[in-house]
Chains A and B, each alone.
Chain A
Amino acid sequence: MHELSVCQSLLGQIELTARQHHASRVHRVSLKIGPLSGVEPQLLQQAFPIAVAGSIAETATLDIELLPIRLECRQCGAESEAAAANQLICGQCGHWQTRLLSGDEMLLASLELDRPTDEQTVNG
């Protein structure tokens, strides 16, 4: 439901990073998203072209890496992967007192840019 507003804030970060690297174009945007983040990857994919229209990232492709939900058990200490977003219990002993190690991320992980200096570097 709020994927468009998430994309708009994503665009702000893309533009800032692109400016800092004197980029002329953004080719690829890579995100890392956890199932507990509260954003739907599919809805992000749909909102992205709308949010970046007319920007430096207009032609960019969006890559979304879905991260697993990883838990650490406070009872037995085991690390495990959660079976589902509503089953955050220990995979080893079944106890519910676990700590989330990953799975709630909503991160801009990397950008692939065109920089005017790229050619110079490549050409020596």
Chain B
Amino acid sequence: MCDTCGCNVTNGNRHLLQPAGKLEKTADGKSAVTVLQSLLSENDHQALHNRQHFDQHGVLAINLMSSPGSGKTALLEATIDALAGRYRIAVIEGDLETENDAERIRARGVTAIQIATGSACHLDAHMVHDALHRLNLADYDLVFIENVGNLVCPASFDLGHHHNITLLSVTEGDDKPAKYPIMFRAADLMLLTKTDLLAVLDDFEPQKAEQCLRQLANPAPMLSLSATRQQGLEAWFDWLDDAIASHRQRLEQGETVLPKIQSDGARWHTGEAGHP
């Protein structure tokens, strides 16, 4: 399935990737070498390659992130029930130990590839690549990657997907975006989940949660829903329809889209202006 690496190094950005910049001598005669390379460059390179796999097959890939138990698998179940007739869907499940989530997805009649991360607190691009080679991408329109339940690490790793979605369940508190800014800054869409429980919670204010998101300079839409009670799902399905349609248009023009947070390495690859 792997073709040659099509990494997009251009004349404009090549100098940024060259390990040897200036060679100087320090006071005690040692060589000082300027490097300026992203510490995640290996991951980012793999992510770029993963995105090419998706793009070659016209697949839209979405990374779901949240704290443990905020409803990622329940959202996938409700989404599959409603949209499996409209889109060909597959799921990549990242879990520390069990196959529980993958089995819940398979019970809906959809392919689920399980990545057991062992002790790792996040998925990285290499793990997703292994999963991709167990999946015939030509058979799908939409691939969801359910990341490990963790509001810290997953935000730092580009997996080669196109959009980041961060879930916040109403039982977690409306100040979570302020407490985990890196995760919520990365969201292309924030889903407020388990909103059926709002009735019994007296201190969760959806407006406050949205305000905290804006303080991170993030214009991402916030949608409220309950997966188990089937509330607010239409707006979420509309968002998905839109995302898939836009992605197909982009691909026709030979373009793709990077998730909101692209690491330094990804920026270099796309030749977009980097840091001074």
Which A residues are closer than 8 A to B by beta carbons?
1-2, 5-6, 9-10, 12-13, 16-17, 20-21, 23, 27, 31, 36-39, 71, 85-89, 96-102, 104-115, 118, 122
Of residues 157 to 209 in B, which have CB atoms within 8 Å of A's CB atoms?
157, 177-179, 181-182, 185
Chain B residue with the shortest CB-CB distance to A25: B30
Give 18 new A-B contacts, CB below 8 A, not counting A2-B153, A21-B31, A96-B215: A1-B122, A2-B121, A13-B37, A17-B19, A20-B19, A23-B31, A36-B182, A38-B156, A86-B178, A86-B216, A87-B215, A89-B215, A96-B214, A104-B264, A105-B264, A107-B38, A107-B264, A111-B33
Cross-chain contact A112 with B29 (CB below 8 angstroms): no
Residue numbers in B under 8 Å from A1 (CB-CB): 121-122, 150, 152-153
Cross-chain contact B29 with A122 (CB below 8 angstroms): yes
Chain A residue with the shortest CB-CB distance to B179: A86
Q: Mark B28-42, 1 if CB is under 8 A from A, else 0.
A: 011111111111111
The reply to whether the CB of B212 lies closer than 8 angstroms to some CB of chain A is yes
Cross-chain contact B39 with A10 (CB below 8 angstroms): yes
Chain B residue with the shortest CB-CB distance to A88: B217
CA distance A17 to B34 in the complex (A): 10
Chain B residue with the shortest CB-CB distance to A106: B39
The reply to whether the CB of B134 lies closer than 8 angstroms to some CB of chain A is no
Residue numbers in B under 8 Å from A87 (CB-CB): 215
Residue numbers in B under 8 Å from A16 (CB-CB): 19
Cross-chain contact A107 with B36 (CB below 8 angstroms): yes
Q: Is the interface of A mostly helix, strand, loop or mixed?
A: mixed
Chain A residue with the shortest CB-CB distance to B212: A86
The reply to whether the CB of B263 lies closer than 8 angstroms to some CB of chain A is yes
Cross-chain contact A27 with B40 (CB below 8 angstroms): no
Cross-chain contact A36 with B185 (CB below 8 angstroms): yes
CA distance A104 to B32 in the complex (A): 25
CA distance A31 to B216 in the complex (A): 25
Cross-chain contact A21 with B156 (CB below 8 angstroms): no
The reply to whether the CB of B86 lies closer than 8 angstroms to some CB of chain A is no
Chain A residue with the shortest CB-CB distance to B217: A88
Cross-chain contact B155 with A113 (CB below 8 angstroms): no
Residue numbers in A under 8 Å from B182 (CB-CB): 36-38, 85
CA distance A107 to B23 in the complex (A): 18
The smallest C-beta distance from A36 to any residue of chain B, in angstroms, reads 6
Cross-chain contact B32 with A110 (CB below 8 angstroms): yes
Residue numbers in B under 8 Å from A9 (CB-CB): 39-43
With A17-B35, A107-B36, A112-B32 already in contact, the answer to whether A71 and B153 are too (CB < 8 A) is no
CA distance A87 to B152 in the complex (A): 18
When A and B form their complex, which 5 residue pairs have the shortest distance between CB atoms, in order from nearest?
A38-B156, A88-B217, A86-B181, A96-B214, A86-B178
Cross-chain contact B215 with A12 (CB below 8 angstroms): no
Of residues 134 to 151 in B, which have CB atoms within 8 Å of A's CB atoms?
150
With A12-B42, A36-B185, A118-B29 already in contact, the answer to whether A20 and B20 are too (CB < 8 A) is yes
The reply to whether the CB of B69 lies closer than 8 angstroms to some CB of chain A is no
Contact of A105 among B122, B124, B217, B275 (CB under 8 A): B275
Cross-chain contact B261 with A85 (CB below 8 angstroms): no
The reply to whether the CB of B219 lies closer than 8 angstroms to some CB of chain A is yes
Cross-chain contact B156 with A39 (CB below 8 angstroms): yes
Residue numbers in B under 8 Å from A107 (CB-CB): 36-39, 264
Residue numbers in A under 8 Å from B25 (CB-CB): 118
The smallest C-beta distance from B216 to any residue of chain A, in angstroms, reads 5
Chain B residue with the shortest CB-CB distance to A100: B217
